[in-house]
């Protein structure tokens, strides 16, 4: 067993135009001051990283990571959530997702998709330059508009969508293999990979690719009424990243999983700051420790009530308190009697 690394902080929800969140130097110093030992970095945010320069120069990567270390934090992983989303977009969502792409590519879905693939590949290359072994992403979605089968889905529709999704991702996964980096898909509503069954449909189509891994975030499972602890047991061999994020699900006679088109504040399912929701993190951290999880516990702050800076500071302390320093001995070693095979056979009433 290994002790989980952390606490780390995903910077996507904090980067902004105001100091200290608008420069790499300032946001890394702020994260360290909050109690974090690492940061997870969204590669689409030019305030934090020049992805083209990083992909072209290992020296840039060393200097960039060195600045973070000098400020007190390591790089936990890179994130391509937004670029991964654009690898596969159903036309119904084109206008909404255009905002993730450069202005010159908006209204040009085919060109936007090629750009997104290039972005994900560059981020894998940068991960390799940095000596990282995992990268976060979304799968994108072609089938999501058809998630609830009314009217009846035509036979073969979902299979065709997943065949195409796999076709688009397979070359990226092969590049990940060349880089020695796992792509960790965040299993998330809105993505075609939104639960265990859909992940397995994809995995089957990419030939159980060794680099097609998972980012585990129990909050998304709470809001789907999915057993988030059993999920750890099922996918232990594929889970390479962990977002520590809390949530609560309180259905009423008016609303349930689908949310009734209400704001986050007024849904039955809501994201909360760590410790304010319903996730049993003591059990989560225990299972991660037992399954020899080698990664970071990274706080992803999303809360409909609490101020983000309060959530960040409290989250660092919460994760630190939940990380289990794993034991290097069995608790009953003191009572070991010391034996060999002959002694064991005598104890069993067998000949020596």
What confidence score (pLDDT) does residue 342 get?
A: 87
Q: Which tops the pLDDT comparison, 105 or 344?
A: 105
Query: CA-CA distance, 307 to 276, in Å (whole number)?
Result: 13
Would you state the pLDDT for residue 341?
87
Q: Which two tokens stand for residue 186?
A: 């965040």
* CA–CA dist 109, 91 (Å, integer): 8
Cα 35 to its chain centre, rounded Å, is 21
Q: What's residue 328's pLDDT?
A: 85
In the chain, where are the structural domains located? 5-347
The mean per-residue pLDDT over the stretch 201-223 comes to: 98
Tens-place pLDDT, residues 181-200? 999 999 999 999 999 999 99
- What burial letters (b/e) apply to 14-45, b meaning 16+ CB within 10 Å? bbeeeeebeebeebbbbbbebbbbbbbbbbbb
Per-residue pLDDT at 352: 57
In degrees and rounded to multiples of 5, residue 112 shows phi and psi of -60, -40
pLDDT in tens, 230-287: 999 999 999 999 999 999 999 999 999 999 999 999 999 999 999 999 999 999 999 9
**Kind of pairing, strands 212-216 and 182-186?**
parallel
Digit-coded pLDDT (tens) for 45-96:
999 999 999 999 999 999 999 999 999 999 999 999 999 999 999 999 999 9
pLDDT, mean over the chain: 96
CB 78, CB 39: distance < 8 Å: no
The answer to whether 53 and 16 are in contact (CB under 8 A) is no
347 has pLDDT over 90: no
- Please work out, in degrees rounded to the nearest 5, the angle formed at the alpha carbon of residue 220 by the alpha carbons of 219 and 226: 100
What percent of the chain is modeled with pLDDT above 90? 93
> What is the Cα–Cα distance from 262 to 201, expressed in whole angstroms?
31
5-347 CATH: 3.20.20.150
Say if CB 311 and CB 4 are below 8 A apart.
no
- Write phi, then psi, for 108 (nearest 5 degrees): -130, 75
Q: What is the pLDDT of residues 157-182, one digit of tens each?
A: 999 999 999 999 999 999 999 999 99
- pLDDT of amino acid 5: 98
Least confident of 70-84, 108-122, 321-335: 321-335
Structure tokens at 116: 């997104």
Predicted pLDDT of residue 65? 98
CB 9 within 8 A of CB 40: yes
């Amino acid at each position: 067993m290994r002790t989980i690394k952390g606490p780390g902080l995903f910077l996507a929800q904090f980067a902004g135009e105001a100091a200290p969140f608008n420069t790499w130097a300032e946001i890394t110093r702020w994260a360290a001051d909050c109690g974090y030992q690492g940061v997870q970095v969204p590669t689409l945010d030019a305030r934090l990283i020049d992805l083209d320069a990083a992909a072209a120069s290992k020296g840039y990567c060393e200097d960039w990571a060195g600045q973070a270390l000098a400020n007190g934090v390591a790089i936990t992983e890179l994130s391509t959530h937004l670029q991964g989303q654009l690898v596969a977009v159903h036309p119904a969502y084109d206008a909404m997702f255009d905002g993730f792409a450069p202005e010159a590519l908006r209204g040009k879905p085919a060109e936007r998709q090629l750009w997104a693939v290039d972005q994900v590949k560059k981020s894998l290359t940068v991960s390799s330059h940095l000596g990282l072994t995992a990268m976060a992403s979304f799968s994108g979605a072609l089938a999501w508009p058809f998630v609830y089968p009314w009217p009846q889905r035509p036979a073969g529709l979902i299979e065709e969508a997943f065949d195409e999704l796999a076709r688009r991702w397979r070359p990226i996964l092969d590049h990940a293999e060349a880089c020695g980096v796992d792509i960790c898909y965040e299993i998330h509503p809105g993505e075609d990979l939104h639960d265990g069954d859909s992940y397995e449909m994809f995995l089957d189509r990419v030939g159980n690719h060794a680099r097609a891994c998972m980012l585990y975030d129990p909050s998304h499972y709470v809001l789907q009424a999915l057993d988030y602890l059993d999920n750890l047991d099922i996918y232990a061999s594929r889970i390479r990243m962990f977002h520590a994020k809390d949530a609560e699900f309180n259905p009423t006679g008016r609303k349930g999983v689908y949310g009734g088109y209400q704001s986050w504040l007024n849904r039955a399912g809501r994201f909360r700051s760590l410790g304010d929701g319903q996730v049993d993190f003591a059990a989560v951290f225990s299972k991660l420790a037992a399954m020899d999880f080698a990664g970071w516990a990274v706080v992803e702050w999303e809360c409909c009530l609490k101020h983000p800076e309060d959530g960040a500071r409290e989250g660092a302390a919460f994760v630190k308190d939940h990380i289990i320093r794993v034991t290097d001995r069995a608790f009953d070693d003191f009572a070991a009697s010391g034996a060999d095979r002959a002694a064991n056979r005598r104890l069993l009433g067998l000949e020596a």
